Structure 1
Amino acid sequence: MACVGLVNGRRTVASLLSDEDWKEVVKLSKGRQVLMPDTKLPAQAKTLRWDGGITRYFSHFPGESPEGYTSTESPEHIAMKVAIYKALVDLGIRAELEDGVDDWRADILVGDSAFAPRLAIEVQISPQSAQRTYERTEQRNHSGVPTLWIFGSIGLTGRLSEDLARRNPIFVAETPQDAADIASAVCRGQAFYDDLLSYQQTPARPVALLVNCACGDRWLYPFGSVLLLNRISGETAPMFISCFRTSKVGKGLLPTARIRAVEKYFDLGMSSVKASADKYGVGFGQPSEVWHRYGRFGNSKSGIRVWERSYSCPACASTPEPLTRGLPKGVALLRCPVPVATTVDARSVLSITPSWRMSRKDGWVESPMCERRWKDEFIYPLRSAISQS
């Protein structure tokens, strides 16, 4: 199946013809006057009706395709190729369907655009291994042409190296319009590779308890930090990082690696507490070694491994007695008065990965949180987690 045929020696895109012009092409093809562009053999002009609409295409006559020739494409594949081609042509970007350089052919070959002097666009709906993707991309790179890969939801199987991904845009599209929007963004220079470096400086707000120790020292007992990821990108939401208890970190690691991973997680939440203590001239709790036990955590009803760390007075090393049995009801957790205490490198706790994106989602600054919302979203869930054992 091919989108393009040679009609009177001219490359002709089947889907762009009017109904009357297509009827004439069909007549010519029956007289074997239409050729396949790549093999120069006679081509049939055919129409396929499917649940996505009507697809017009060209193919070899039965039994006449060269040995080893494969050009079987789904109508979904053709629809994506044609949508991309139409979108680029409408933007005034030079593009050819099913064209290539040297010994390879791309679904769409783009001339000069904001992304590169030339660009191969490949639509891959059926599964393709990462190794095959690498080989096909390198083939084009040898010709000095990068590749834009547009996969379907199950197209890519495996992970590609970051070096390859940085130089060759890789996206997933669900519909022909998605594919057209992606190709347009890349060729217009709007798409970019997000390496997540912006999250190195993530604003963080501390959550801590102000302790008036019996020794006369005042210090902050750390509970965690709220990472304001939304201020970096509008696609992300604030998240809470605990300083003292977790059950989700270190799974699947060897014992020593587990301890290091949990300590790193706790320290991430601790950094904003330290900054707030420095700013207001009070001490901050000194951490104990990390230990674990089996118990309930959050909404879990069954016993699971829970990692914990406690904190003691920096002056006398005592640990507040009520905190060893959970947070007492009469004691309030403080939202430390500084709106944003510090910035932290939040990349280790992100659920997103470095990849190509169509556009940047500007961050936003949340409105001041009223006391009731603060308690509902952070304090009450935290109090529940502390009290369970």
Structure 2
Amino acid sequence: MFLDGKASAFGTTLPHSLKKKMCHMSKGKLLWHDKVFDFIKSSALAVLNLLKTTGMSDELKKCIKKLCNQVSVTRSTDFNPIKDIIGQYATINPQRPLDPYVGKGVPCNKWGFNHVQPGKLLCPIEHLLKYLKDSDRTCAKLKAGDLSLRSLPSFVFESNGEPCMHLDGGYDKDYVAKGMFEGFLLIRVGKHIMVAPKAALKDDPLPLSCRSKGLIMDTPCIIAEHLPYLTLAGRSAMSTQQWGAIADGGYVWEKEYNRMLTLVLDPLHEEEIANALHYLNLKIFGHEKGMVNDSSDDNNDSDEKNNKDSFYIWLWEQAKAKQAACEWAQTKLWAHTADITLQADADHAAVGDLLNAAINEVTGNEETATHEVS
């Protein structure tokens, strides 16, 4: 589904049902659809051709189904191994796993809100203080659906000993974005998925390898769209049911994912999301921009710029010389073509003048104008 203006770019318009749905989308969600379409134009030309070609809707649906299946396989590969070791990831000190332990081989009825510690991490942020005061009663309400789960879970927020207990106190109702997407579990999940499972419990960032998702997906940094994905990966790892099912008090995975996606792409929250991305990239990759070598900031290649014998300098200079030669040749060709055109115009004018002179001589008419070539 794309913006109507985008759709018209390939000769079609959105059906009425999609136009109606667009009217209820947030600005952030619309921007996200814009980004998806731009990605298709630059990186998925086969899909773009199907979109542009009349009568290819069935083939397009098959293509989308294959993409969705691959996404499902990738998500399972990302999420399931985290569940096996969540007993260590979900504690401030990984040397002291959850007690009772949850992880590989533990029955599902021991997970989620059936366990006091994962329950605390899964608890919606606005109910956390109630949970800390009376975990049994709050858990029962959450499982029964008496308390809404339509919120970010507490593990998403920065911690100091307790989930979402900020360094200077606790959850701040006057500044609810404080510490958002800076939780310790989110960092470990990010390291597990983007770098390697062995990186998750290391204090210092590890370098990317050829098997790291950050390199495979050509995104060696955390971007806004990753935040909902990492959040659901952490939640799935602690929940009684896997991703995609109704889990823990009626939590609807797809709706919550879309709600988070809208949040992180909303320009209104741009500053908070940018701060969170800088923080996560620093913790996961060791640099606030991720595993990205930005020479404009670090000037790491200054020695290359000053080395006249550098291969890259030679390559650049030769390419520039070749470009200049081509431009000079093109300019000469244009000039030569212009000279030929002017000469042809002059020849035509001269012939016309001779003809006029002959006519005047025969008719005795002296007023026939001659041509002047400019």
Same fold, TM exceeding 0.5?
Answer: no
Please say which structure displays the higher CA radius of gyration: 2
TM class, shorter-chain normalised? under 0.3
TM-score, length-scaled by structure 1? 0.24
TM-score, length-scaled by structure 2? 0.24
Q: Which has the higher helix share?
A: 2
Q: Which has the higher strand share?
A: 1
